[in-house]
Each structure stands twice: as structure tokens, then as C-alpha cells.
């Protein structure tokens, strides 16, 4: 079987999204340097953690753009159908993991053990709720569409500050959630058009 060559569209899409990812990550790391987190290990750890939502954001844009392109061409390949099925579910797991990392801020010597545990549980509530909704959405993509759309709107309140801060918060929280919602929506609305229904 002859391997299909990459289309110009896909090559340009990957190139543009990779450049945007590198520029976004560089901007976040530069901000960390400005606030004093300039040790190499701090920058490396920040880069790894910040890469989770940035890869989800730009990767999801890539999947959505490729899906729109292939659908406009007339049919969706089996490979893309599987990607449309699995990417929102795996992205949901990664987003929940990323949001859960912020609950670890509660473990500090300035708090008592009770304060740390109560604070940890309170900070974990969004992740717990999103996890339960993801379980429901696994077989019912319309639930994932609504749940991640509402989560995106919830986190949008953090992105309504000044321009620099709002763009960063959108890229890290609200944007990836919105795009995962759209992937669930496509998975739900296009289920009849996907080869083998991707299941």
C-alpha cells in the first residue's frame, strides 16, 4: 500500500502551530524570568507544566482544522476519525491533571494539616466535577460538549483581566477547555459521517 504524501495544508498547519506554541511558551517562560524564577530547574519544570495546556490548545486547533479540511474535501479518513474520537477524551484527562496541579499549592508549612487538607479538597472540586463529567461524556459526547463548554466559561472569568494576563489565562485554561468542547461537539454531530463511527 502506497503511503499518502502530506498535503501542503497539513505541512503549513503543523509549521504555524509549532511556531505559535514555541512563541507562547517562550513568552510564559520570559514572564517567569521577570518575576525571579530564573533557575534552570524552575524554567524546565515550568516549561513542562505549561506545555500541557499549550500543546492541548494548539494540537486541538490542528485536529479541528484538519477535520474541517478533510470534511470539505468530501470524506474523513479513518485515521482522523479515530483522532476525533480519542483526542477530546485524552485531552480531558490532561486538562483535569493540569487543573489538579494547582491544588498542590495548599501544601505549605504556613498552614496547619487540617487547613492543608480542607484547602486541597476545595481546590480539587473543579477537577473532581470535571472527572465525573468526563466519565459520563466518554460514551455520550454531547455531555462532554456541554461540560467542557461550561468549564471554559467558568475559567473565562480568570481571563478577563488586562490584555497580557487575559491572553495567558485564556491560553492556559479557557481556550483548551473550549476547544475540547468543540472536539466533543464534532464527535457528537459528525458521528454518522465518521468511518466506523470511530468506536
Residue ranges per structural domain of the chain: 8-198
CB 46 within 8 A of CB 34: no
pLDDT band at 118; cut points 50, 70, 90: confident
pLDDT digits (tens, 9 = 90+) for 11-49: 999 999 999 999 999 988 888 888 876 778 878 888 898
Residue 106 has pLDDT above 80, yes or no: no
- Tell me, what's the pLDDT at 196? 53
Q: Does the structure show a pLDDT above 90 at 75?
A: no
pLDDT at 163: 47
Per-residue pLDDT band for 140 (boundaries 50, 70, 90) equals very high
Helix, strand, coil percentages (3-state) for the chain, rounded to 5, are 85, 0, 15
Cα separations in angstroms, 167 against 73, 112, 149, 177 = 33, 35, 18, 14
* pLDDT for the residue 2: 43
Query: What pLDDT is stored for residue 42 in this prediction?
Result: 79
pTM for the whole structure: 0.80
199 falls in which pLDDT band (50, 70, 90)?
Answer: very low
What pLDDT band is residue 158 in, cutting at 50, 70 and 90?
low
The answer to whether 111 and 119 have CB atoms below 8 angstroms apart is yes
pLDDT for 166 equals 65
Question: What is the rounded average pLDDT of the residues 100-119?
Answer: 82
Give the other-Cβ count within 10 Å of 110's Cβ: 6
pLDDT at 4 over 90: no
CA atoms of 82 and 197, how far apart (whole Å): 8
**pLDDT attached to residue 113:** 84
Residue 160 scores a pLDDT above 70: no
More confident: 163 or 41: 41
- How far, in Å, CA of 117 to CA of 6, rounded? 51
Q: Which residue has the higher pLDDT, 118 or 197?
A: 118
Cell 503543523, residue located: 14
Amino acid at each position: 500500500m502506497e503511503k499518502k504524501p502530506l498535503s501542503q495544508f497539513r505541512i503549513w498547519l503543523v509549521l504555524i502551530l509549532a511556531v505559535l506554541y514555541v512563541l507562547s511558551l517562550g513568552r510564559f517562560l520570559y514572564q517567569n524570568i521577570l518575576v525571579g524564577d530564573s533557575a534552570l530547574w524552575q524554567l524546565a519544570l515550568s516549561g513542562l507544566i505549561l506545555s500541557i495546556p499549550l500543546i492541548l490548545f494548539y494540537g486541538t486547533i490542528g485536529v479541528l482544522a484538519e477535520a474541517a479540511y478533510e470534511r470539505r474535501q468530501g470524506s474523513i479518513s479513518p485515521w482522523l476519525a479515530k483522532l476525533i474520537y480519542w483526542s477530546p477524551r485524552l485531552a480531558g484527562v490532561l486538562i483535569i491533571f493540569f487543573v489538579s496541579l494547582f491544588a498542590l499549592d495548599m501544601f505549605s508549612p504556613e498552614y496547619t494539616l487540617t487547613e492543608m487538607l480542607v484547602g486541597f479538597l476545595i481546590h480539587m472540586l473543579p477537577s473532581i466535577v470535571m472527572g465525573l463529567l468526563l466519565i459520563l461524556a466518554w460514551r455520550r459526547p454531547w455531555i462532554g460538549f456541554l461540560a467542557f463548554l461550561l468549564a471554559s466559561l467558568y475559567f473565562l472569568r480568570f481571563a478577563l483581566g488586562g490584555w497580557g494576563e487575559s491572553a495567558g489565562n485564556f491560553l492556559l485554561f479557557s481556550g483548551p477547555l473550549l476547544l475540547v468542547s468543540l472536539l466533543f461537539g464534532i464527535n457528537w454531530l459528525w458521528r454518522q459521517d465518521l468511518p466506523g463511527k470511530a468506536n
